Structure 1
Amino acid sequence: MGADHTSKIVGTVWGLLVLNTLGSAGAKTIIPLPRSLIQMVTMGALVAAFALALAVNLRLRIRASAFVFLLTLLLVPSVISSASLESGFGALFRCARLALFVGTLWLLSRWWDGSPTFVRHHIRMYFAVLASVAAGLLISPGAAMPELYGGRLVGALWPLTPPQIGQYAAVIIGLTVLLVLGRRTDRASAAVVIVPSLVLLALTHTRTATLGLFIGLALAIGSLVLTSAAARRFFAWAVLCAAVAAVGFASALQAWFLRGQSQEGLSSLTGRAKVWDALLAAPRTTSEQLFGMGLGDKSFGGLPIDNSWLAVYNEQGLIGVSLVAAIILVLGGVALLRPPSLQRACAIFLISYCAIASYTEAGLGDASPYLLHLAVAASLLAAPAAATPLSTPEAPRLSTPEVPRRRIPRWARKSEVT
């Protein structure tokens, strides 16, 4: 199988993983889509991704990865807590989904060689998702910005919430900016991705994604400042533009940030703090504290938890929280130990973005876009695969057939001198 063909299959597998993690709950779409149909599509995408990854890696060649190993360990408390069926049979189904997700990452780890290949796959796939959001906005602006969500942008063709769209836009904006600074893409191609993504991010009014984008980019570019003149110029211009915007557009930025909420609503994180307090105050047995209640829909009392750490604590217990913390710490520690490079900067951006978003978004303990972001970071931090020289087998020695001697006539022989 040729290298180009294999690369296309790997890109297809990554796209199917992205499709699987889009979810099935969100805004009402222009054409009503039954949730059962959406779940069938997303789960079918995961099965297809695993099958394709297995087909292209039949010899099961994998690379050592602390990230995927810790994810595999996370399956243990997930299965133990879900086996009690306190969360219903859906918990076991989610465990099987997580196992298939982790298995696909193991199969793809063969191609994790420290190159930005998966960064490009990531940008392409999420840009395609944002293209569907933009298409829905053009077709039906009312459905794409409903009053139910306060006029914020949602998915009108596929049920996507404003935080989801904001997350996808922020991630591909940050990665594309870093590719431009690393001279891995031209400015025209980058503008095609960055400009519409910025517009969609602004329409979502997603504070977490915006803060994650700016803080993640600041940390990533800061890691390049000492070695890249382009990074220094960009950093200086970014600081200047931020200062001008803070002075000239302070009122507009404040109105966008508040989203019409009061200071009390903002301080309570739009009601999230009440759910968090109730979750922490709920009585739990020792087993539930250690292993959790089983994989669920990341809600408590019918309300979304919207915090990765509390969601993991609720579903996978303190053991799950420890494993997720180890994932972030290991990836962050490896990134800090790497010498300055574009790959390191992209990894720092993704890790810091996921760490920031984990405070108001759930997903670090289950198959989600956040785990895909961290998987891209792990692929960037992987050591380049050592080139294996092709061993030339020793050619078998062919026995030379014995050439029959020509009979010399008696008269032509030299006479012996006696």
Structure 2
Amino acid sequence: MGKDTGHGGPDATDATDARDARDAADTAGPAGTPGERPGAGPRPATTPKAVGIVWGLLILNTLGSAGAKTIIPLPRSLIQMVTMGALVAAFALALALNLRLRIRPSAYLFLLTLLLVPSVISSMQLESGFGALFRCTRLGLFVGTLWLLSRWWDGSPTFVRHHIRMYFAVLGSVAAGAVISPGAALPEVYGGRLVGALWPLTPPQIGQYAAVIIGLTTLLLLGRRTDRTSAAVVIVPSLVLLALTHTRTATLGLLIGLALAIGSLILTSAAARRFFTWAVLVCVVAAVAFSSALQAWFLRGQSQENFSNLTGRAKVWDALLAAPRSTSEYLFGVGLGDKSFGGLPIDNSWLAVYHEQGLTGTALVAAAIIVLGGVALLRPPSLPRACAIFLVSYCAIASYTEAGLGDASPYLLHLAVAASLLATPAPAPPRPVPWAPRRRTPRRTPGSEVT
């Protein structure tokens, strides 16, 4: 982000992106990625603008097709055609940008690739129908596109900026729907919580997008990679939308993730120390002065019993764990499905992965989280490290009440951004040596020596 608006949103400036690419040389190694594969060559001097388009298409693919009723009814088949078409277009464009298939080895992407194995094995049994094989194909294209984009993972905040721009555009559509039709955007069926009136987005989705870009923009502001005006343009409306969604998971993920990320900068950043001090004071004052209002917002009018069993989630979880399973289902699951059990949403990433991809998939997803988190903790304090800590901690917190870590989803994109921040910059191309004429030594003829 910066003072000059660019091609992607309020925080897009080519000059800033170029500075980020130069500053990336100060960051440390990758999330299990020692550098480019042999023969990949030096990294490109700049990231093509079309990479941002590919990232936007990936985000469009993960928006989903089920949600609230929109102002203009959109058939689910049409939405699925748009989202799947966006993924195919993203893969094709990424391949066109990287025809030589230059990639950056990444432990995160390697584990996602391994995740395809239990997914295919379980889906081939067709317990979840032919849709499971379709979802496996989608996951394969999704991971393949990330591999193609890994060429431009250099430890700079470039993909953070793409992330903020694209999700800010999504939130802009939510705000536009609320202005056009407040009744459709705040329906009674969702308890008056904000939903997508132009595109079918649920309150947890909107809360997730708002929380992620609020956290990332705050960290860019503390790292002096954006100015206060540009940051306020993103943070203030996103906070309003987050409050209207009444999403507890996103709010807690934002607060805890920012606390951990800013805590990693306290020893090296005076701005982080000041922000942390003021944030603690504001939270204490708000907790004392508005305790009843905050409690009412947090409970959302639910009874203590309904709140204690997590709005009915605990009953689904108990039934899923108690269901009999064969050895194959224990190891590889029942195949990729719609993250539901008995017709009810699972709403837990770990149980959803266990149900669909078995213990093998659960171990691979846990390994991906542990690798990213471990590498981030081992890095020296820096802005990319702080952003990675925020994203990994947010996904870990949200995984308790949201599904998505085992399939193509925004959570995998959040973690991909974290992996790009933890990547080691590839060696810069060698500078050409300036040409200089050679000095010619005069020939000596026999007898010309001076005695």
- Asked whether the two chains share a fold, i.e. TM above 0.5, the reply is yes
Rounded to whole Å, the distance in 2 between the matches of 1:339 and 1:10 is: 28
Aligned to 2:150: 109
Rounded to whole Å, the distance in 1 between the matches of 2:269 and 2:48 is: 30
Instruction: Tell me the TM-score normalized by structure 2.
Output: 0.86
Q: How does 1:218-367 map to 2 (within 5 A)?
A: 218-367=259-408
Are the counterparts in 1 of residues 47 and 152 from structure 2 also a CA contact under 8 Å?
no
Q: Is 1:73 the counterpart of 2:110 in the alignment?
A: no
1:389 Cα deviation from its structure 2 partner: 1.2
Aligned to 1:200: 241
1:4 Cα deviation from its structure 2 partner: 9.6
Aligned pair partner of 2:423 in 382, 395, 418 = 382
Are the counterparts in 1 of residues 329 and 358 from structure 2 also a CA contact under 8 Å?
yes
Identity rate, percent: 87
Aligned to 1:87: 128
Rounded to whole Å, the distance in 1 between the matches of 2:246 and 2:106 is: 36
1:6 Cα deviation from its structure 2 partner: 5.4
SS in 2 for 1:26: coil
Aligned to 2:55: 14
Are the counterparts in 2 of residues 225 and 232 from structure 1 also a CA contact under 8 Å?
yes
SS in 2 for 1:41: helix
Are the counterparts in 1 of residues 347 and 403 from structure 2 also a CA contact under 8 Å?
yes
Rounded to whole Å, the distance in 2 between the matches of 1:113 and 1:263 is: 48
SS in 2 for 1:97: helix
1:169 Cα deviation from its structure 2 partner: 0.1
- CA distance 1:4–1:197, shift in 2 (3 Å): farther
- CA distance 1:391–1:362, shift in 2 (3 Å): same
Aligned to 1:129: 170
Aligned to 1:159: 200
Rounded to whole Å, the distance in 2 between the matches of 1:182 and 1:108 is: 25
- CA distance 1:38–1:153, shift in 2 (3 Å): same
Deviates more, 1:381-390 or 1:293-302: 381-390
Rounded to whole Å, the distance in 2 between the matches of 1:391 and 1:164 is: 50
1:5 Cα deviation from its structure 2 partner: 9.0
Rounded to whole Å, the distance in 1 between the matches of 2:366 and 2:106 is: 16
Aligned to 2:66: 25
Aligned to 2:409: 368
Rounded to whole Å, the distance in 1 between the matches of 2:292 and 2:45 is: 51
1:384 Cα deviation from its structure 2 partner: 1.2
Rounded to whole Å, the distance in 2 between the matches of 1:65 and 1:129 is: 29
Aligned to 1:214: 255
List per-residue Cα deviations over 1:256-313 (Å, max 9, x = no partner): 0000001111100000000000000000000000000000000000000000000000
Instruction: Tell me the TM-score normalized by structure 1.
Output: 0.93
Number of matched pairs: 393
Give structure 2 stretches of 5+ with no counterpart.
1-43, 436-451
List per-residue Cα deviations over 1:27-57 (Å, max 9, x = no partner): 0000000000000000000000000000000
Higher relative contact order (CA 8 A, sep 6+): 2
List per-residue Cα deviations over 1:362-416 (Å, max 9, x = no partner): 0000000000000000000001111131578x9xxxxxxxxxxxxxxxxxxxxxx
Q: Which amino acid aligns with 1:32?
A: P
Rounded to whole Å, the distance in 2 between the matches of 1:364 and 1:16 is: 19
List per-residue Cα deviations over 1:94-130 (Å, max 9, x = no partner): 0000000000000000000000000000000000000
Aligned to 1:119: 160
Rounded to whole Å, the distance in 2 between the matches of 1:283 and 1:196 is: 47
Rounded to whole Å, the distance in 2 between the matches of 1:64 and 1:6 is: 18
List per-residue Cα deviations over 1:71-110 (Å, max 9, x = no partner): 0000000000000111000000000000000000000000
- CA distance 1:215–1:6, shift in 2 (3 Å): closer
SS in 1 for 2:48: helix
Give structure 1 stretches of 5+ with no counterpart.
395-418
Rounded to whole Å, the distance in 1 between the matches of 2:194 and 2:164 is: 20
List per-residue Cα deviations over 1:172-191 (Å, max 9, x = no partner): 00000000000000000000
Q: Is 1:190 the counterpart of 2:231 in the alignment?
A: yes
Rounded to whole Å, the distance in 2 between the matches of 1:188 and 1:5 is: 26
Task: Please tell me whether Structure 1 or Structure 2 has the larger radius of gyration of its CA atoms.
Answer: 1
Q: Is 1:35 the counterpart of 2:76 in the alignment?
A: yes
Aligned to 1:405: none
Aligned pair partner of 2:217 in 172, 176, 199 = 176
Are the counterparts in 1 of residues 258 and 390 from structure 2 also a CA contact under 8 Å?
yes
Aligned to 2:449: none
Are the counterparts in 2 of residues 6 and 56 from structure 1 also a CA contact under 8 Å?
no
Rounded to whole Å, the distance in 2 between the matches of 1:338 and 1:45 is: 35
1:8 Cα deviation from its structure 2 partner: 1.2
Q: Which amino acid aligns with 2:193?
A: R
Rounded to whole Å, the distance in 1 between the matches of 2:304 and 2:160 is: 38
Are the counterparts in 1 of residues 220 and 226 from structure 2 also a CA contact under 8 Å?
yes
Rounded to whole Å, the distance in 2 between the matches of 1:367 and 1:136 is: 26
Aligned to 2:188: 147
Aligned to 1:62: 103
Rounded to whole Å, the distance in 1 between the matches of 2:222 and 2:349 is: 31
Rounded to whole Å, the distance in 1 between the matches of 2:303 and 2:182 is: 27
Rounded to whole Å, the distance in 1 between the matches of 2:285 and 2:231 is: 24
1:316 Cα deviation from its structure 2 partner: 0.1
